[in-house]
Amino acid sequence: MLDQVKQIILVLSGKGGVGKSTVSTQLALTLKEKGFKVGLLDIDLCGPSVPYILNLEGQNIHQGPEGWIPVYLDKEQRLGVMSIGFLLNSRNDAVVWRGPKKTSMIKQFLEDVCWQDLDFLVIDTPPGTSDEHITVMENLRQVQHCSAVIVTTPQEVSIEDVRKEITFCRKTNIPILGIIENMSGYECPTCCHCTNIFSSGGGKSLAEIAKLPFLGTLPIDPRVGQLAGKGLPAVREIPEATTSKVFNEIVSQL
Ligand code: ADP
């Protein structure tokens, strides 16, 4: 139930594959490392990757007297996770649902999960501005302290898609915390030197044009990719990496 949550952060992206789930999970893990009580809700119905990234595949959701009980990453129950992935038999199972069924599942996820006094609920949304987003926005419009983080890559096409996300948030009155540029250059795991493979800086200039805060630049870092499937926080495992410094910085601003 969302009245048990102090602050909601929606993680949005215009396209798939830009690192939205990586950002959602690392944001949730960083908040947990800082001592907050955190929930992570994965409503990417067509590609629920959070259970895999956090090494929670095969876990089951249980129904308690007051609603669904999230799957906890740790025994202290500081990070609770809810994902459509827990309801599928395997990661390769597809969710082939029409709009109304998707809508009712998302509503259930928003209304019926027993989160128990969270400092932050991070919501990993599907890419784009689809039915799922409209349902989420309609349900969250009434909730105070709800804001969005937009993830993009430096490439032109991804930046273009972000413009649509910005318009969508503005139309639905969800404040935007800022833009994160992911996969900007390659950071060598040995010397931490960053090489710009493609263009960079697109996210920052878009933030300036749209008059939004720019939250930081995350390089491509093989160590970050390797953390997927282990459920480990970059800020603890690779504190020297730029990614960890950026997440520490973002969290200190929340
Ligand atoms: P999305 O949720 O936008 O579809 P994911 O977070 O699943 O994207 O990321 C897609 C792939 O890219 C995953 O294999 C992930 O591990 C990898 N990835 C994302 N961001 C980074 C990064 N900064 N450095 C290295 N690999 C990354």
Give the range among 1-15, 98-112, 218-232 with minimum mean pLDDT: 98-112
Q: Does ligand 1 have an atom closer than 6 angstroms to the CB of 228?
A: yes
d(CA 190, CA 94): 39
Q: Which residue range forms the structural domain that includes residue 160? A: 2-253
Please tell me the predicted confidence (pLDDT) of residue 240. Answer: 93
Would you say 34 is a known binding-site residue? Answer: no
Rounded to the nearest integer, the mean pLDDT of the chain is 88
The CB density around residue 21, as the number of other CB atoms within 10 Å, is: 26
Q: What angle separates helix 131-140 from helix 99-111, to the nearest 10 degrees?
A: 30
Q: What angle separates helix 202-209 from helix 156-171, to the nearest 10 degrees?
A: 30
Would you say 128 is a known binding-site residue? Answer: no
Would you say 58 is a known binding-site residue? Answer: no
Please tell me the predicted confidence (pLDDT) of residue 91. Answer: 63
Q: Does ligand 1 have an atom closer than 6 angstroms to the CB of 46?
A: no
**238 Cα–ligand 1 center, Å:** 17
CATH code, domain carrying 146: 3.40.50.300
pLDDT per residue as tens digits for the range 165-207? 898 888 888 899 999 999 988 888 888 788 887 767 788 888 9
Share above pLDDT 70 across residues of the chain, in percent, rounded to a whole number = 94
Please tell me the predicted confidence (pLDDT) of residue 95. Answer: 64
Please tell me the predicted confidence (pLDDT) of residue 92. Answer: 63
Q: How many domains does the chain have?
A: 1
Please tell me the predicted confidence (pLDDT) of residue 94. Answer: 61
Q: What is the residue type of 94?
A: A
Share above pLDDT 90 across residues of the chain, in percent, rounded to a whole number = 49
The residue whose CA is least distant from atom 17 of ligand 1 is 225
Would you say 19 is a known binding-site residue? Answer: yes
Mutation test of ligand 1: which of 13, 18, 22, 55 has the most ligand atoms closer than 8 Å to its C-beta? Answer: 22
Q: Enter the pTM of the model.
A: 0.93
Q: What's the average model confidence in pLDDT over 130-145?
A: 77
The residue whose CA is least distant from atom 9 of ligand 1 is 19
Please tell me the predicted confidence (pLDDT) of residue 88. Answer: 77
Please tell me the predicted confidence (pLDDT) of residue 188. Answer: 84
The residue whose CA is least distant from atom 10 of ligand 1 is 17
Give the range among 75-79, 86-90, 116-120 with minimum mean pLDDT: 86-90
Which atom number of ligand 1 is nearest to the Cα of residue 221? 24
Look at residue 90 and tell me whether its pLDDT is greater than 70. no
CA distance from start to end of the chain: 22
**Residue 87 pLDDT class (50, 70, 90 cuts):** confident
The CB density around residue 11, as the number of other CB atoms within 10 Å, is: 25
ipTM, interface predicted TM-score of the complex: 0.99
